Amino acid sequence: MDHKRIVELEGKCTRDQPAACSAACPVHVDVRAMLAAIKAGRFTEAFNIYSKSVPFPRIIGSICDHPCQKACKRGEAGDALAIARLERACVQVVPATEAKVTAPSRKEQRVAVVGAGLSGLTAAHDLAKKGYPVTLFETGSSLGGRLKEFRAEELPPQMVSDDLAVLAKLGVVLQLHTTVGRDISFAALCQDYDAVYLGTGTVTPEFKLPLDQQGQLMIDPITFATAQEGVFAGGTLGRGGSYSPIGSVADGRRAAISIDRFLQGVSLTAVRANEGPFETRLFTSTQGVTSLPAVPLGHNSDFYNEEEASQEASRCLQCECLECIKSCEYLAHFKGYPKQYIRQINHNLKMVMGRREANTLINSCSLCGLCEAVCPEGLNLGEFCQEARGEMVKKGKMPPSAHDFPLRDMAFSNGEQCVLTRHQPGYQTSSYLFFPGCQLSACAPGHVEKVYDYLMKQLNGGVGLMLRCCGAPAEWSGRQELFEAELKKMKDQWEELGKPKVILACSTCHQMFKKYLPEMELISLWQLYHQYGLPQVSQAQRPALVAVHDACTSRREGQMHGQVREIILKLGCQIEELPTSRDKTECCGYGGLMQFANRDLADAVIKRRIDESEADYLVYCAICRDNFAAKGKKTYHLLDLIYGEGDPLAPAKRGPGYSQRRENRVRLKNKLIKNRWGDKMTEERDSYEKIKLIIPEDIQELMENRLILVEDVQRVIDYAERTGNKMLDGHTGHYLARFRPVSVTYWVEYLPQGDGFMIYNTYSHRMEIIEEVKE
């Protein structure tokens, strides 16, 4: 997969972005982590986190002008966090210790720092730490510049000297009472030193440095370089006189980075994004966050005690973007977030040898697009998963077990026994074509008949019928070639029918056709009911209230959502809206074939959705209905309501099992041909299909879970009884036999009973045993 595309996708997930407070901080203190430590009462840890970003933590912790607080998201729900006070609390609680200095490897080039204000001190500190011999020139008799303007209660002088002691340890040479331009010429300084940093607050004309139109020293805002090579400047000098302690620290630090780069002869400008304050892209929702005021200062008017600090820090929202994780069971299930997932998937695709650990991650996504709908940056992980599936299939690296069953089901739906494409009986042309979809035909074949009759009655010009699968399982599973072949068949037949308008009852078919057959004019069945009126039904049974679950493949069909609701209201039912619906609706666990690739996850998805309301659900996708009903949720299909078959008192009715669904499709075709077109059907059945099975309910359930069809069991018995290749389990007295039609070996434990066979157990495996059976 294209590297640029990966980077672009990863970039959309802002989960790794710093919190707003850290981004606003000129030196990017990890405020979140610091506050988490304070909340837990771990003040030393908090102070260490602070010291990591701040060179003189006791000084800055006491006087910081805290631009972070303005950016704090908590401000949207109460007061912003009192971050400066919390820093101060750390300074108060944690006893001063001597700074530990690790001796750097000494470098040859010498640096002069002019001015011992905060920017100069920081530049000297950072450069000395990198091993440069640094000389610090200061006009006055002490270090700190404007620090002495603070009251002693605010900033005790002892604290200043404690913090600045580190400079001597780093070997910074101090030249106090030395004014550059008077005691030593600027030109001489530039001659004697390999680089110069000016943190003087003001600049004298003697320096002969180019000024801008306002008479300010010209300083590059990124590199802090002046127009003279090797001379850098910052601090108040660069801010037109306004004083910001943390701003000065940041200037000194950034200038030190430039000086280091300058002396090493590397680019001054490369990779310098996000130095200094910036606006983060991290999204943090404050929706539903209870508003809380800042903790007031208690015992002491100057700083929080430990308890107050912990209490205040506990108001921190620990900003992070969880929008997609909160909304999607799948994304939460793998315990990471999209950016990580994209990396894992990309790694999986690029892997040559070893275990492809992200296969399940790739194949478990429902491709429902909810992540895109809730992501502030519109990241659609499903699209990426689907691309990944396509690539896996192309490379022959798609696990065969993941999608085998639904693809075989699709092949069955599009086999001769199920497909049908005809003009309306008595017509030679079609103005419309009804495409009910393979799932409605399987779950509720009776509804397909009723709807077709309705359409033929309402619409002029002939309503043709096409029974088949739209190919979604092929698309979902990354089988692009197979999918295109299916599309071509449908397109050819549609053209043969005279390009009629296509009426769709399934939102997945709707989504597929809209995307891949844009030349088709599509009409949703719900639009027609809405337009032509609902059929008259006598003795209709309908619930008084339903909660509407929109199909995930209808996410972008706002009109459809409205039409469905209007139909429900017209039928006399009240509507309850689920917490998420319409463009934010959730998948029922079937989308993207999740249910086949990761059964447990699909079960969790279904459970989450059906637990969202006590009310009975109303859906307009056959699979949504059956998936919810299978887990005991009373769920109606919209057609149940339209045709008055929604008995609110009856318990949740499970849909037909996989075998019955196949049977239903075949019967629907035969019945329609016989009853609507009056043609004779000769049902050709294979010999094994005549085998009568007695399957107890628990075994039926087991077969559903193990994806074993009645047909599979019949074929095993047919083979065993024909060839005599069977075993006897002496312990149970049951016969054991196996048969491998193509890629799966099915085992059946059975005994003859009457004119049929009693089934005791059945299981399967994909691994093949090389037998040398003498048949």
Partner 1 sequence: MSQQIQCLKCNVEMKLGPVEATYLNSKFPVQLLKCPKCGLVYIPEELARGKMLEVEKALEDK
- Enumerate binding residues for partner 1 (CB under 8 A): 354-357, 359, 399-402, 723-731, 733, 735-736, 738, 745, 747, 761, 763-774
Long-range Cβ contacts of 453-456 (<8 Å, 24+ apart): 454/535, 455/503, 455/528, 456/424
The tokens for 652 are 């949740």
Q: Least distance (Å) from partner 1 to the CB of residue 732?
A: 10
The tokens for 590 are 């079937």
In the complex with partner 1, the residue whose CB is nearer, 241 or 396, is: 396
In the complex with partner 1, the residue whose CB is nearer, 357 or 577, is: 357
In the complex with partner 1, the residue whose CB is nearer, 4 or 774, is: 774
Q: Least distance (Å) from partner 1 to the CB of residue 13?
A: 25
Smallest CA-to-CA distance from 315 within 300, 295, 298, 296 is with: 295
In the complex with partner 1, the residue whose CB is nearer, 516 or 763, is: 763
Q: Least distance (Å) from partner 1 to the CB of residue 579?
A: 36
In the complex with partner 1, the residue whose CB is nearer, 369 or 406, is: 406
Q: Least distance (Å) from partner 1 to the CB of residue 764?
A: 7
Q: Least distance (Å) from partner 1 to the CB of residue 360?
A: 8
Contact 65, 247 (CB under 8 A): yes
Q: Least distance (Å) from partner 1 to the CB of residue 693?
A: 19
Q: Least distance (Å) from partner 1 to the CB of residue 596?
A: 14
Q: Least distance (Å) from partner 1 to the CB of residue 657?
A: 20
Main-chain phi, psi angles of 339, to 5 degrees: -60, -45
Q: Least distance (Å) from partner 1 to the CB of residue 506?
A: 31
Q: Least distance (Å) from partner 1 to the CB of residue 769?
A: 5
Contact 248, 234 (CB under 8 A): yes
In the complex with partner 1, the residue whose CB is nearer, 2 or 771, is: 771
In the complex with partner 1, the residue whose CB is nearer, 152 or 728, is: 728
In the complex with partner 1, the residue whose CB is nearer, 233 or 365, is: 365
DSSP secondary structure string for all residues of 463-530: EEEEES--SHHHHHTT-HHHHHHHHHHHHHHHHHTT-PEEEES-HHHHHHHHHH-TTS-EEEHHHHHH
In the complex with partner 1, the residue whose CB is nearer, 142 or 401, is: 401
**143 Cβ contact list (under 8 Å, min separation 6):** 116, 121, 136, 160, 164, 167, 174
Q: Least distance (Å) from partner 1 to the CB of residue 45?
A: 40
Residue in the block written with tokens 């409605």 = 440
Q: Least distance (Å) from partner 1 to the CB of residue 771?
A: 5
CB atoms within 10 A of CB 32: 18
Long-range Cβ contacts of 383-387 (<8 Å, 24+ apart): 384/9, 384/342, 384/345, 385/345, 385/361, 385/592, 386/475, 386/476, 386/478, 386/592, 387/1
In the complex with partner 1, the residue whose CB is nearer, 376 or 399, is: 399
Contact 81, 315 (CB under 8 A): yes
Contact 157, 147 (CB under 8 A): no
Give the span between the Cα atoms of 130 and 118, in whole angstroms: 18
Q: Least distance (Å) from partner 1 to the CB of residue 747?
A: 7
What amino acid is encoded at 537 in this protein?
V
Give the span between the Cα atoms of 591 and 750, in whole angstroms: 35
SS3 531: helix
Partnered with residue 134 across adjacent β-strands are: 111
**337 Cβ contact list (under 8 Å, min separation 6):** 13, 15, 324, 325, 331
In the complex with partner 1, the residue whose CB is nearer, 280 or 359, is: 359
Give the span between the Cα atoms of 773 and 377, in whole angstroms: 61
Furthest CA-CA distance within the chain: 118
Main-chain phi, psi angles of 441, to 5 degrees: -65, -30
Q: Least distance (Å) from partner 1 to the CB of residue 755?
A: 21
In the complex with partner 1, the residue whose CB is nearer, 383 or 721, is: 721
Q: Least distance (Å) from partner 1 to the CB of residue 291?
A: 49
In the complex with partner 1, the residue whose CB is nearer, 241 or 724, is: 724
DSSP 8-state code for residue 656: P
In the complex with partner 1, the residue whose CB is nearer, 424 or 477, is: 477
Residue 663's Cβ-count burial label (10 Å; 0-12, 13-18, 19+) is middle
Contact 330, 594 (CB under 8 A): yes
Residues in the chain: 775
Give the span between the Cα atoms of 413 and 473, in whole angstroms: 11
Give the span between the Cα atoms of 424 and 421, in whole angstroms: 10
CB atoms within 10 A of CB 88: 21
In the complex with partner 1, the residue whose CB is nearer, 326 or 765, is: 765
